[in-house]
Structure 1
Amino acid sequence: MCDTNSRRGIGLRPRKGRLKPGHQRLGGKVNSLNASDRIGASSQAVVEALLLGMVLCSPWPFGSAGASAEFFLFCELACALLVFSVWLMFGARPGWRAGWSGRLILVGMLGLAAVAGLHLIPLPDWAVDQLAPGVSTWTADHGSAASLAGQRSITTDAASPWFSGSKLGLNAGGSFQFLIRCLAAACLFGMVCCFHSPERSLRRLSIAAVMVATALAIFGIAQHFGSHDGLAYWTYEIPGGLGFGPFVNRNHFPFFMNLGLGLTLGLLMERLEKMGRHWHRLLLADGIATWLLVALVFIIASLIVCVSRGGVLSAVVAITVVLLLRMSVGGVKRWLVLGVAVAAATTLLLAWVGFDFYESRLNMLGESDRYSGDGRWILWKAALSSVPEFPWFGSGGETYRYWETIQMTGDPQWTSETNKSIRADNEFLDVLNEYGIVGLLSLVLMAGVVVYQIAIGARRSALSAGACIGLLAVLAHSLVDFGLRVPATGMFAVIVAALLCSQRVGSRERRRQSQPAKDRPMAAVANAFARLGLTVTALTVIGFTFFALYTKRRYHLAERFSIAAAERMDQSMPKQSLENMVSAAKLTPEDITRQLQVAKASQLAMDRLDSPASKKVLVDLINEHSIIAMKLCPLAWEPSVWLANYGRHQKNNRERLDDLRWARTLHPGDPNLAFLTGQLALNESGLSEAVEHWNESLTYSTKYLHDVLSLVETKLGPDEIIERLLPADPVVTLAAALYFDRKPDSDVRDQCAKRTLQLLATPSATKRRLDEGTLYEMQSRCYGMLGKPEESIHSLRLALNHDPTKVAWRIQLARRLMESRQLDAAIREVRIVLTLDPNAREGLELQKQLSVLRASSNPSR
């Protein structure tokens, strides 16, 4: 054997092998890592593994949006934060990798958290009046609420610290939940910004994103075409039937998927750059690139199948902007070829699964009037309605759902009975509504810094460009939806934003970070203070972690009790159901939803119990929890209705009417409530007020039209019915004309028919929007009642020109022709009807009648 000197003498160099774990090379020497370095490295590895597990698992339990799923997500985050706290206290001092941009984002998160925390603090009346003048307006006692407000119980005492009136917001419980989420996001962001190697972490996150996004895409497509979007996992019913994949809303699916799409594109770009100019020869020979292309095809196909217009459009915009920022001649050729290839493969996949582009909502992207008329303007207007009363700090967390109900639209196609929204479909307006100008500025600060990072990060590296695509798509989509409120998506976006901010720091800071902590020039005192600061930070994070876990566990248990209560009620066990619901309310006294559920459960139980003593107990529960709900959030309308129906003063119709009036102020668009209020007002205040309520009820629904007309037809003349009672809606006036068509007096019928024709001829006079075919069919009915058969037939023909396959209209036309003795034309229409539907019963009867009429008119035949 020869030593090192002899090897050097014959021209051989000592081999520079890989360092063994636990060693590092310093100044040409290999030294063992000390204990603090090992703790730091091990802690980061554990934290990174936990975060990757969160990304892989969080979307499957409905985006972790439920209380139980969110609790388990917080458990994983808590484990990561506790390991990170150990790193802070005992490991090597971590460096801040995100620079000033990361600090600004952290300031924005803490600013939002501070606003939410301010909603929980009682303030002097003068301060509340100055900063939130609307508080005194909406918290004033009224009707039965004032007479029952003095009641006290254990449940009331537990909820009293959360009551509104002395706070800046109107729902402290909702702000408290938002505070916990904002602080958790800030901790997560700060923790990721301390990772030693953000480039490596971003690559690992991208690999995990490819896996979960592809799995979600395949699952979403399979579920969409295997059942329907009203079911999740082919089992769980989704209210409204607008879900996709594991998400309960199809517009939330693209938020998570666009982040996965961006990171997948980042990996593909990095792979293509390594291939160089011969990428087209190596593309299909490279297994990794091939699988990334397959993943892209499934991800893009799922985005199209979920028919979220905002999700698709935001993805296109983000990809276009980032590729333009990275533009080069070779890059343009490369992405044109890849774009065509991916588009062709995606189209083939969609054709194979049977997706119809024409029938989907995506065709509305080219029709701006239909796109803007889908209700978003109404939601955005509702979000701005409360700003003058709560300008600086907003009206409180989870209050938008009530402002959307309070804001009456007068649009018969957008009623609070059939269209309900818990968000403004615009993240910025939603924050402005609930957390005011200060909250909006905090959000704009975060968004602005992220946009700046996207502008410089798109040209930095392929992986950074992929992160930029995902974040830009999420930001763009946030202008028309609120998917960031879904915990799985919010957590994913925070991690990607932190890693993007950490990809590049100044050269001076990079040199400082690459230098070992013990070699940095720092006085012993300063080092001691730094270590003390890290210890205090770690202890604060630990304290918050356990408090957040305790809070989320309370909500998790409350949800389990609520689910058990619903099951007991379905099993006709009202007492046990009510016990479970009361237990849920006791666990979370600040949650108005649980208080409302107790009152609803009591109402259901009352219908199933016959004992007077039991009913008295249930009435007391309804009163108690209605008052608690009103004190927690005075914008809720249900408690006033329950107090009007079940309060101790329920025999006092004057107080009942006051309660219903207040409920109508909080929910003016509900036709049921408007009709009931009008009925009570008819006896207590007279016909004039009753007509006002009934007019608003008919504005949103014709459900009670016959009941209303039967009450007023002897009290109001034809002109008053037209001008005062019936709204300017052709659907309502036509229904009224049909009602009076069965009456012996045809004067009111004729006036209603004429009014309908006027409204149909001047669409600007009504908020009702009708398609051309329906409009002409309604005209035909009016002409028929007015005794104008030729005009009626002509209008029906125009209606059929717009929808030739409408069987009911053709039968109606055949009847009109038969009445006008145009038998040949009527027979032709009946033949078309039977061609379209051979089993049409009315068509077969008309055929027999026409045969008899034709035979009688031509006896020789």
Structure 2
Amino acid sequence: MGLLDRDQRSSIKNRADVPTIGKEKKPSYTAMLATSGLCILVALAPLPFASMDMRIVAVWVLLLSAVLLLTVPQAISSRDLAFLYGFAAISLSWAFVVSEQLDHTSPLSQRLMAPIWEQTSAVLGEQLNGSISVALNQPFFSAGSQIACLLSMLCGYLVGRDRRAARLLLMSFLGSTLAYASYGLIAHIFWPDYLLWHRKYNYLASVTATFINPNVAASYFGAATIGWVLVFSSMSSDRFSGPPLSWREVIRFRLHTFSPLRTFCLLACFAMLSTTMLTGSRAGSVLSLLCLAGAVGAYFRRGLKKRRLLWVFPIAAMLLIVGAISILAPLVNQRFGVQGFFDSGRWQAYVSTIGMIRDFPWLGSGLGTYRWVFPEYRSGDIPSYGVWEQAHNSTLEAAAEMGIPFALLLGIGWLASLVVLFRGMLGRNRDAILPTAAFWIGLLVILHSQVDFPLQVPGFALAICPILGMGMAQSFSSRAKVLTCPSNKS
């Protein structure tokens, strides 16, 4: 948190909202407990093998429920209500679809029952109680991780309304990612065939840290790279005011004002970028660099505009991206040379998944049933080796498992979140780093989820979703009119 406070003291001296800083109330004990609980979740969710075990997910659901209860007594503004209405719409729609997939007796479930139940009944010679889900009760066992993700984003928003809690949440994320990156690099050097204390047999040439799949690790460390670079950039003291300095004066000023704290942040940026490149993920590495360039350009857009370099920056950024891929990502270069940017198997998997959506358009085949249904639709053009447990496209997989209407509603929700973060990034001056980091991290995650499955890994989603919720809360001024204030005396 001190990394951001130093920037705030130097960059908002002449701003009209300076007098409000000293009037900020000390947070209540319940608010501090809620913030601490959410920071623990963000820091520890990736640790136990990316929280893939359902028992670990259950622990996180309990923790998030406690955090949510602690935030209930806090004040609610009109903007908070708008967010809560949208969140409730998606949550209730999700609950309706899952309940119908589990039900055996409702008219809708009887009408949309999966054909496999009638076929099985005919083979066995007895009538089975079928359901919309092709695998009995599978939506119940797969619901935990999605409940945790919904709760984590909601808690991130409610906790992140306080600017000090929001900064602490971001720094908890960045500090934990640096620890995981350090472990990943050390383990890659000394124990490349081990994932924590378990032996691994795949991705031996890739840095995965505590994640099983390098694509998820690339998106995680890429998001952290964006955050660390923005923190380092926020230490610039001439971002808002004053005429542009000459390049010689800028370099001299940077050399004379370099401190141990800035050196540490610079090393952290290099470590996170190196870890991202060493995962060997093509899409993860390229998208991380593109979003990183966008974050830097958006943060320094005023200075670039003053120097008339706003249109030159994209060209320079593309050259730097190509250079970073060439120097820091040998495995990515190798995969580009052998497989190109995109392997054909995924395109065929998308076509096969669209076939699933065509047969289960309304309520899907059942949450968590993709791995059971896909073999029937698997194209013969897909190589015979490998097991497809995910569609490598979260949107298509959501439509296949939950139906087209819910997938459209979910897509609208993600688009609305990006719009809010984008407006906050361009509209906020004080604490602008918070919505800026959240927007580009969210954009990276959503884009990567169209060619892979990072959001379907609980350890990744539970670390990222609170940051997105916090960013939406910090996309607006803290002076919003309070509608309800149940307890302001604590």
Q: TM-score, normalised by structure 1?
A: 0.47
Does structure 2 retain, via aligned residues, the 8 Å contact 1:400–1:433? yes
Answer whether contact 2:390 2:453 (CA < 8 A) is retained: yes
- Report deviation, 1:450: 1.9
Query: What is the CA–CA distance in structure 2 between the aligned matches of 1:256 and 1:475, rounded to whole Å?
Result: 12
- Residues 63, 487 of structure 1: 8 Å contact kept: yes
SS in 2 for 1:119: helix
**8 Å Cα contact 2:101-2:366 kept in structure 1:** yes
Aligned pair 1:298/2:271, yes or no?
A: yes
CA drift of 1:465 comes to 1.0
Match status 1:482 vs 2:453: yes
Match of 1:581 in 2: none
* In structure 1, C-alpha distance between the alignment counterparts of 2:88 and 2:134, rounded to whole Å: 27
2:358 is matched with 388
Q: Post-superposition shift, 1:499? A: 1.0
**Structure 2 residue 472 is matched with structure 1 residue 501:** yes
Change (3 A) 1:294 1:275: farther
Distance 2:229 2:418 in 1: 19
Give the CA deviation at 1:483.
1.0
For the pair 1:233 / 2:220, whether they are aligned, the reply is: no
Q: What are the Cα deviations for residues 439-496 of structure 1, in whole angstroms up to 9, with x where unaligned? A: 2112202211122123213223123211212111111101111111111221222211
SS of alignment partner, residue 272 of structure 1: coil
Counterparts of 1:288 and 1:504 in 2: how far apart (Å)?
27
| Distance (whole Å) between structure 1 residues aligned to residue 219 and residue 393 of structure 2 | 13
CA distance in 1, matches of 2:172, 2:158: 20
Distance 1:362 1:397, change over 3 A: farther
Q: 1:198 to 1:263 in 2, by over 3 A?
A: farther
Distance in 2 (CA, whole Å) between partners of 1:51 and 1:97 is 22
Identify the residue that residue 393 of structure 2 maps to in structure 1: 426
Give the secondary-structure state (helix, strand or coil) at the position aligned to 1:225: helix
Q: How does 1:447-462 map to 2 (within 5 A)?
A: 447-459=414-426, 460=428, 461-462=432-433
Q: Match for 1:328 among 279, 290, 301? A: 301
- CA separation of 1:421/1:499 partners in 2, compared to 1, >3 Å: closer, same or farther? same
Map 1:247-286 → 2, pairs under 5 A = 247-273=211-237, 280=251, 281-282=253-254, 285-286=258-259
Match of 1:310 among 272, 283, 293: 283
CA-to-aligned-CA distance 1:506-531 (integer Å, 9 cap, x gap): 79x71336x96689xxxxxxxxxxxx
| CA 455–96 in structure 1, closer or farther in 2 if over 3 Å, else same | same
1:399 positional shift:
1.6
Distance 2:46 2:164 in 1: 24
Q: Is the 8 A contact 2:194 2:200 kept in 1?
A: yes
Q: Give deviations 1:651-706, integer Å, cap 9, x for gaps.
A: xxxxxxxxxxxxxxxxxxxxxxxxxxxxxxxxxxxxxxxxxxxxxxxxxxxxxxxx
Q: How many residues align?
A: 446
Indicate yes or no: 2:456 matched with 1:492.
Answer: no
1:414 aligns with 2:383: yes
Q: Is the 8 A contact 1:65 1:486 kept in 2?
A: yes
Which residue in 1 is equivalent to 2:119?
140
Query: Which one has a bigger Cα radius of gyration?
Result: 1
| SS of 2:47 mapped into structure 1 | coil
Other structure's SS at 1:371 match = coil
Q: Distance in 2 between matches of 1:164 and 1:93?
A: 48
- Whether the 8 Å CA contact 2:392–2:451 is kept in 1: the answer is yes
2:439 corresponding residue in structure 1: 468
Aligned equivalent of 2:183: 219
> Could you report, residue by residue, the CA deviation over 1:757-809 in whole angstroms, capped at 9, with x for unpaired residues?
xxxxxxxxxxxxxxxxxxxxxxxxxxxxxxxxxxxxxxxxxxxxxxxxxxxxx
Q: 2:101 matched to which residue of 1?
A: 119
- Cα deviation, residue 183, structure 1: 3.5
What is the root-mean-square deviation of aligned Cα atoms in Å?
3.8
Alpha-carbon distance between aligned partners in 2 of 1:177 and 1:331, rounded to the nearest angstrom: 51
Q: Tell me the equivalent position of 2:82.
A: 100
Question: Is the CA contact 2:153–2:469 (under 8 Å) kept in the aligned structure 1?
Answer: yes
Q: Amino acid of the residue matched to residue 39 of structure 2?
A: L
Contact 1:471–1:497, Cα closer than 8 Å, also in 2: yes
Where does residue 147 of structure 2 map in the other structure?
183
1:189-248, Cα deviation, whole Å (9 max, x unpaired) = 3333333743222211222122111122222222223333x5312643356767711111
Alignment of 1:454-853 (within 5 A): 454-459=421-426, 460=428, 461-505=432-476, 510-512=480-482
Partner of 2:173: 209
- The change in CA–CA distance for 1:190 and 1:245 in structure 2 (over 3 A counts) is closer
Partner residue in 2 for 1:59: 46
2:446 partner SS: helix
Distance 1:175 1:136 in 2: 17
Q: Aligned pair in 2 of structure 1 residues 176, 164: CA closer, same or farther (>3 Å)?
A: farther
For the residues of structure 2 that align with 1:327 and 1:317, how far apart are their CA atoms?
A: 16
Decide whether aligned partners of structure 1 residues 130 and 94 sit closer, same or farther in structure 2, where only a CA change above 3 A counts: same
**CA distance in structure 2 between the aligned counterparts of 1:454 and 1:397, rounded to whole angstroms:** 29
Give the match for residue 13 of structure 2.
Answer: none
1:101 Cα deviation after fit: 4.7
2:387 alignment partner, SS class:
coil
Distance of 1:74 and 1:494 partners within structure 2: 14
- Secondary structure of 1:385's match? helix
* Deviation of 1:419 (Å): 1.0
Q: Given residue 196 of structure 2, which amino acid in structure 1 is its aligned partner?
A: Y
Rounded to whole Å, the distance in 1 between the matches of 2:342 and 2:161 is 45
Out of 160, 169, 172, the position equivalent to 2:133 is 169
Structure 2 unmatched ranges of 5 or more: 1-21
CA separation of 1:495/1:196 partners in 2, compared to 1, >3 Å: closer, same or farther?
closer
Change (3 A) 1:466 1:385: same
Match among 289, 292, 298 for residue 262 of structure 2: 289
CA contact (8 A) 2:356 2:377 kept: no
Contact in 1 for aligned 2:423/2:475 (Cα 8 Å): no
Contact 1:97 1:193 in 2 (8 A): no
User: Which position in structure 2 is the counterpart of 1:70?
Assistant: 57
- Aligned letter for 2:373? W
- Structure 1 distance, partners of 2:476, 2:459, is 28
**Structure 1 residue runs without a partner (length 5+):** 1-23, 27-32, 151-162, 520-861
Asked if structure 2 preserves the Cα contact closer than 8 Å seen for 1:173 and 1:397, the reply is: no
Q: Is the 8 A contact 1:257 1:299 kept in 2?
A: yes
CA deviations on 1:37-67 (whole Å, 9 max, x unpaired) are x9x7111100101111111111111111123
Match of residue 671 from structure 1 = none
- What CA distance in whole angstroms lies between the structure 2 residues aligned with 1:196 and 1:410? 49
For residue 424 of structure 1, report the CA deviation from its aligned partner: 0.2
CA contact (8 A) 1:119 1:396 kept: yes
User: 2:342 — aligned with what?
Assistant: 372
Q: CA deviation at 1:394?
A: 0.3
Q: Secondary structure at the match of 1:372?
A: coil
State the SS of the aligned residue for 1:44: helix
Paired residue secondary structure (1:63)? helix
Distance 1:196 1:231, change over 3 A: closer
Bigger RCO of structures 1 and 2 (CA < 8 A, at least 6 apart): 2
Q: Which amino acid aligns with 2:140?
A: F
SS in 2 for 1:251: helix
For 2:78 and 2:42, how far apart are their aligned partners in 1? 23
The equivalent position to 2:32 in structure 1, one of 36, 45, 58, is: 45
The 1:240/1:464 distance shift into structure 2, 3 A limit, reads closer
Q: Give the TM-score, by structure 2 length.
A: 0.78
| Aligned counterparts of 1:382 and 1:492: Cα–Cα separation in 2 | 31
Answer whether contact 2:135 2:366 (CA < 8 A) is retained.
yes
- Is contact 2:362–2:405 with CA below 8 Å preserved after alignment? yes
Is the contact between residue 96 and residue 193 of structure 1 (CA under 8 Å) also seen in structure 2? no
Change (3 A) 1:419 1:269: same
